[in-house]
Each structure stands twice: as structure tokens, then as C-alpha cells.
Amino acid sequence: MEQPAPRMHIPIDSITYEQWKELRAPYIGASDVGALLAWFESWPASDAPWGSALRIYHRIGGSLDYDEEEFLLDQYAPAECGREFEDGIGRMYAKRFPEMEVEGKSPTWQHPTIDWLVATPDLLVVHPERGPGVAQFKLATSNGRKKWANGLPLYVEAQVQLEMEVMGREWAHVFAVVDATTKCFYVERSADYFQRIVEAGEHFRAALQAGDVAAFVDGSDDVTRTLKETEPEELKDGETLL
């Protein structure tokens, strides 16, 4: 049975980035699912994504602005650079894959049957043999290159798996600029992987509805940062939650 078409949820051409963040905040998106899977499945620390399930919990609950910290803390400058340089990385990608038909930048789409899942692929593309796919661009500076040393990071694979599922496309390219070199990874859509995402998301939503904050405290660096923002009286400067 053919999958229903995704629903365009949030446009990108007619609103500002700040407006997009506000509209996107209540949903679980492709950039969130790595953090949810790492929390749900207990990934090794070396594969941990940058964010945390606790931050997503507070963002959806309204106690944290979406990605507010990336403009306040120096260590989040790479995320800002990746967004600002996205068009240039896209041009680099197009030069290396001239056979690809580029459909253009994508708005935020909602999954056709699971309305709490959304995705915003960087680019929609069509390969002459593989057909429609999605392209995701990444910029890894010296701060993040170690996460790419052994191939495609797990949290990025999770991101493109959800993008493919939402868009109903069977393959994806992850094109990364890592310390001034380029890497491109080919990923195929996996129904089993998507089922893992759904299970993690449902477990997260149950804890969210129950107000079970303690379920999300795992001792990661991002959990410590999040607690300092949401409960500053609980942690003193320089203290890390163990």
C-alpha cells in the first residue's frame, strides 16, 4: 500500500527563523530523534548527540526557548555556522553530483499518519536511477570532527531516517564538510529503524504527559546545561550532575 503524502506544516519562505522556531517547538523533529534514541536505548557516550531528551522535554513544555542556548554559549557556534553556511554547502554538493535534479529547499513537513513527528530536509533531490531522495548537509568543525571519525554519526543517521519516512523517500545523502574535506554518505530507508523512533517517541510522550522529569536525567553534559537553565538553584557553578 502506497504511503499517504506528507502534509506541509510550516513554510520556510514566508516566515522568519524565529517564527519557525516557535511553530516547530511543540513537535518531535528529525533533529530531535537522535537524542530520544540515545536516551531510550542508552547509546555509548562516544555516540551521544549534542542535545538531550531533557532539553526536548523542557522545550515542548514551554520552559525553554527552542535552541536559545546556541546564541548564548560559544560551544554552540558550530550549529549557527552550519545553518548560515547551508546554502554554500548545498552548492558544493551540487557540483559533486551534477546528475542530481535539485527540487529545492524544503518546508517543514508533518508525517502523514503520526502528527507529532515532523521533518525539514535540507534539500529534496531526484537521482536519475534511485528516484526521489533527501539531502542533509552538515558542517563539522574541530569541535565536532571526532564524532565523524568512524563514519556517519548515529544521531545523523536517525535524523535522515525520519526525514525519509516523513517524505516517503527511499534514500538519502548526508553531505558533510569536515575540517575542509567533504564526505558523502548514502543511507537507505529502514522500516525497522523508524519503528525504533516511534517507540522512543511514544515512551517520551508518555513521560512528558506524566510530568516525569526525573526520567530524562541521565548525567550527560546537555542535561547538566539544561538543569542550570531550568533549575539553577539545584547546581552551583562548575558542578556537574552525576
- Output the pTM of the full model: 0.84
Distance CA 98, CA 96 (A): 6
Distance CA 228, CA 213 (A): 14
Distance CA 175, CA 153 (A): 12
Question: Mean pLDDT across the stretch 125-133?
Answer: 95
Give the alpha-carbon dihedral of 69, 72, 75, 76, to 10 degrees.
50
Element (H, E) at 186: strand 181-188
Is there a contact between 37 and 52 (Cβ–Cβ < 8 Å)?
no
Each residue's pLDDT tens digit, 185-205? 999 999 999 999 999 999 999
Q: Which of 190, 120, 203, 116 is nearest to 158 (CA)?
A: 190
Residue 242 confidence (pLDDT)? 37
Of residues 2 and 220, more confidently modeled: 220
Question: Mean pLDDT across the stretch 80-96?
Answer: 80
Of residues 110 and 171, more confidently modeled: 171
Each residue's pLDDT tens digit, 95-128? 999 999 988 777 888 998 999 999 999 999 999 9
Distance CA 137, CA 140 (A): 10
**Which residues, in sequence order, are CB contacts of 166 under 8 Å at separation 6+?**
6, 30, 109, 110, 111, 112, 117, 118, 119
Percent of the chain predicted with pLDDT > 70: 79
Each residue's pLDDT tens digit, 203-217? 999 999 999 988 988
Q: Quick check: helix, strand or coil at residue 215?
A: helix
Residue 83, burial from CB neighbour count under 10 angstroms (0-12, 13-18, 19+)? middle
Q: Which three cell numbers stand for residue 84?
A: 548560515
Residue 12 confidence (pLDDT)? 62
Indicate the average pLDDT of the chain: 82
Is there a contact between 48 and 144 (Cβ–Cβ < 8 Å)?
no
Q: Which three cell numbers stand for residue 204?
A: 517520551
Q: Is the pLDDT of residue 11 over 70?
A: no
Q: Is the pLDDT of residue 135 over 60?
A: yes
Q: Is the pLDDT of residue 234 over 60?
A: no
Q: Quick check: helix, strand or coil at residue 149?
A: coil
Distance CA 112, CA 56 (A): 22
Residue 73 confidence (pLDDT)? 45
Q: Which three cell numbers stand for residue 217?
A: 536525567
Cα distances from 66 to residues 19, 40, 63, 87, 242, in angstroms, run 11, 22, 10, 22, 25
In this predicted structure, which of 41-55, 64-78, 108-122, 150-164 has the lowest mean pLDDT?
Answer: 64-78
What is the β-pairing status of strands 7-10 and 108-110?
A: antiparallel
In this predicted structure, which of 39-43, 71-75, 92-96, 147-151 has the lowest mean pLDDT?
Answer: 71-75
Q: Measured in whole angstroms, how far is the alpha carbon of residue 45 from the centre of its chain?
A: 18
Q: Is the pLDDT of residue 240 over 80?
A: no
